[in-house]
């Protein structure tokens, strides 16, 4: 029996726990997710290193999963645009059962390996693409079908699973095992298995974006200010990076369509918006290199 499906003997009387103890148990069990991701840190770093040249060459990130794993992949793909201005067309997600499965469970869809392969092939994967394959069990047919189609197309395949020696980890070019063990509610991999996948995806995509110069120091300088909150965040980030007051930061941001990177270079080097853009382009988007030029 898979670890994720094995009943947790430590909590065999979970339904009898007083509410306070029940809540403490559910929270405490989540710490296993953090430890599982920590144990896989070298594999996650290897995945970032392998993905970087492909993405830097114009490749796409493609997430594939079913159920909770698939929804977590969708979430990571969607959040890259507002956080890092990552183009929508370069962060694609496949969820077994299609878009409707984001909101209503389509349980049988995960058993269709042929559909997984067909859905992946429909994205026309190439050698510069990076395919992230997520399955708590590590053996979901839909995900394995997509993995094999991605591998046949020459894409980089990165497999995430919550059980040791799982097929999705064995068959992927880079396998990442998040060994979270038995769930406190037996088999409910939306709990710590899902938490570990969320942490791992956050870590992978954030580290990749740092390497792609979407971050200056530890400041998120390539965000899309699509609402009032993010406009204020853009102003604050520009102030933090340059020491400018709010009025000066906002004035320059308004001239460059609230592109924080451009504002930082223009303010710091006391140059025009046009020249700041040229410096950033020459530095391939690196604020640090543009400032050193």
| 171 is a catalytic site residue | no
What is each CA distance from 2 to 6, 7, 10, 185, 186, in whole angstroms? 6, 10, 17, 14, 11
Residue with tokens 């920590």: 38
Region of residue 48 (left: phi > 0; alpha: psi -120 to 50; beta: else): alpha
85 pairs with which residues across the strands? Answer: none
Give me the torsion for CA of 165, 183, 157, 203, rounded to 10°.
Answer: -130
Catalytic residue among 79, 107, 171, 254: 79
| 79 is a catalytic site residue | yes
Tell me how far the alpha carbon of residue 209 is from its chain's centroid: 10
Give me the torsion for CA of 172, 178, 181, 187, rounded to 10°.
Answer: -70
Report the distance separating Cα 212 and Cα 61, nearest Å: 13
Q: At what angle do helices 246-255 and 228-242 cross, to 10 degrees?
A: 110
Structure tokens that stand for 176 in this block? 């990442």
Report the distance separating Cα 31 and Cα 8, nearest Å: 15
**Contact call for residues 231 and 71 (beta carbons, < 8 A):** no
Catalytic residue among 21, 89, 107, 110: 110
Burial grade of 227 (CB within 10 A; 0-12, 13-18, 19 or more):
exposed
Return the active site residues. 79, 110
């Amino acid at each position: 029996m898979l670890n994720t499906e094995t009943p947790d003997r430590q909590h065999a009387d979970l339904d009898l726990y007083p509410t306070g103890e029940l809540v403490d148990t559910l929270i405490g069990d989540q710490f296993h997710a953090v430890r599982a991701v920590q144990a896989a840190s070298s594999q996650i770093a290897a995945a970032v290193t392998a993905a970087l040249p492909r993405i830097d060459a114009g490749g796409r990130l493609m997430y594939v999963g079913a159920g909770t794993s698939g929804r977590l992949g969708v979430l990571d793909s969607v959040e890259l645009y507002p956080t890092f201005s990552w183009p929508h067309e370069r962060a694609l997600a496949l969820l077994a059962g299609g878009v409707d499965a984001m909101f209503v469970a389509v349980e049988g869809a995960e058993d269709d390996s042929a559909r997984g392969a067909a859905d992946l092939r429909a994205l026309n994967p190439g050698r510069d693409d990076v395919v992230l394959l997520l399955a708590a069990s590590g053996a979901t047919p839909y995900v394995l079908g997509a993995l094999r189609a991605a591998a046949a197309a020459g894409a980089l395949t990165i497999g995430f699973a919550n059980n040791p020696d799982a097929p999705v980890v064995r068959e992927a070019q880079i396998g990442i095992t998040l060994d979270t063990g038995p769930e406190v509610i037996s088999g409910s991999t939306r709990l710590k298995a899902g938490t570990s996948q969320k942490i791992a995806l956050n870590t992978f995509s954030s580290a990749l974006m740092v390497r792609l110069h979407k971050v200056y120091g530890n400041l998120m300088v390539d965000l899309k200010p699509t609402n009032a909150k993010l406009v204020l965040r853009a102003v604050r980030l520009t102030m933090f990076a340059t020491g400018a007051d709010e009025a000066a930061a906002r004035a320059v941001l308004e001239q460059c369509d609230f592109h924080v990177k451009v504002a930082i270079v223009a303010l710091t080097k006391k140059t025009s918006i046009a020249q700041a853009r040229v410096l950033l382009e020459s530095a391939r988007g690196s604020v640090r290199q543009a400032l050193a030029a």
